[in-house]
Structure 1
Amino acid sequence: AAAAASLQDEPAGQAEGRPAPHLKILAVDDDGLVLFNTLAMLEDLGHTALEARSGPEALDILEKNPVDLVITDQAMPQMSGMQLISAIRERWPDLPVILATGYAELPAGAAQGMPKLAKPFSETDLASTITRLFA
C-alpha cells in the first residue's frame, strides 16, 4: 500500500520544488463574481473546486465533504473569514486555510504567518500560495 501512496501522503518537505498535488479545495466568498473567478482559476490549475457563499454554508459543506484546503474571503456577512477559520480550527484543526482579503493588515485574531492571499489575486498568485502551503 505504501507504494500506492499519493503525493498528498508524502511527508512535508519531500514535495519541495514540485507543483501542488491535485487538491480538493473549498472556496468561500459572498461575491458571486469573485467566487466564479476563483473556482475557474482553481480548475485551470487542476484542482477540484467546491463553492460556498457564506461561512455557515462552508461549514455545512465541510461536514459532508472532506477537502484538502479552504480559501475564504475575510469580509462576509453572517460570519467573517476569521470567524469561519476559528470554527474550522475547532472541528478540523489540521485543515489548511488561506485567508483572501483586500485589506493590507491581517484582521485581529489572525495568527502570524497565516497564509494570506491579497485581493485581487491572479492565477499565478493563487498557484504560488497553494504550492508554498503544500511544499
Structure 2
Amino acid sequence: MARILWCDDDPMYSVALSAILGDWGHRVLLAESAAEALKVLEAEPVDLAILDVVMPGGGGVSLLHRIKDIYPRLPTVICTGRDFLFETPLMEIGLSKADVKIKKDISPEDLFDVINQLLVAYGS
C-alpha cells in the first residue's frame, strides 16, 4: 500500500500506531523529531506524512511548513493529544497547511478513513 512517515516523540504511541498501519499493509517510517523526519524524507519518498504538533527540538508546525515548502504535493496530517491547540488563533494559522488535523485519541477506523481519503485525493 503506502509508505507513511510517522513523526512523534512518544515511542510507545508510534510503535502502537505503526503496528496498526502495518496490519493495514502500509510501510511506516518512524521519526522522533523534526530533524529526523527531514532525514527520512531525504532518504526515501513517502506517500503521506503524519506529524505530532508538540515535539522537543522543533514541533510539527515548523516541520509542516518545511515539508510543504520542499514537498508541496505530499499529503500531511497533523495530530496532537492537546486538543485545545487546534482552537488557538496562532496554531490555527500555523497548521493551515495541513491537509487534515486529528486528535491522538482518533479511533483506528477513523484514522484508516483519513489516510485512505488523502491517498485517493493525492493519487498515491
TM surpasses 0.5: yes
Equivalent in the alignment of 2:99: 114
Q: Which runs of 4+ in 1 moved over 3 A?
A: none
Equivalent in the alignment of 1:91: 70
Q: Which amino acid aligns with 1:85?
A: L
Task: Please give the residue correspondences for 1:120-135 in structure 2 after superposition, counting only pairs within 5 Å.
Answer: 120-135=105-120
Q: Is the 8 A contact 1:117 1:125 kept in 2?
A: no
TM-score, L = length of structure 2:
0.85
Could you tell me how far apart the structure 2 residues matched to 1:133 and 1:33 are?
25
Task: Out of 104-113 and 79-88, give the one that drifted further.
Answer: 104-113
Could you tell me how far apart the structure 2 residues matched to 1:99 and 1:113 are?
6
Give the greater-gyration-radius structure (CA): 1
Task: Please give the residue correspondences for 1:71-82 in structure 2 after superposition, counting only pairs within 5 Å.
Answer: 71-82=50-61
Q: Is the 8 A contact 2:64 2:97 kept in 1?
A: no
CA-CA distance at 1:105 after TM superposition: 4.3
- Deviations along 1:64-121, one digit per CA (max 9) or x if unpaired, are 1000000111010111111110110111111111001122442241217730121122
TM-score, L = length of structure 1:
0.78
Could you tell me how far apart the structure 1 residues matched to 2:73 and 2:97 are?
17
Q: In structure 2, the residue corresponding to 1:40 is in which secondary structure?
A: helix
- Deviations along 1:12-33, one digit per CA (max 9) or x if unpaired, are xxxxxxxxxx100010000111
Unaligned segments of structure 2, at least 5 residues: none
Unaligned segments of structure 1, at least 5 residues: 1-21
Q: Percent identity?
A: 37
Equivalent in the alignment of 2:42: 63
Paired positions, count: 114
Q: Which amino acid aligns with 2:99?
A: M
Q: In structure 2, the residue corresponding to 1:30 is in which secondary structure?
A: coil
Task: Out of 59-68 and 104-113, give the one that drifted further.
Answer: 104-113
RMSD: 1.5
Equivalent in the alignment of 1:17: none
Greater helix content = 2
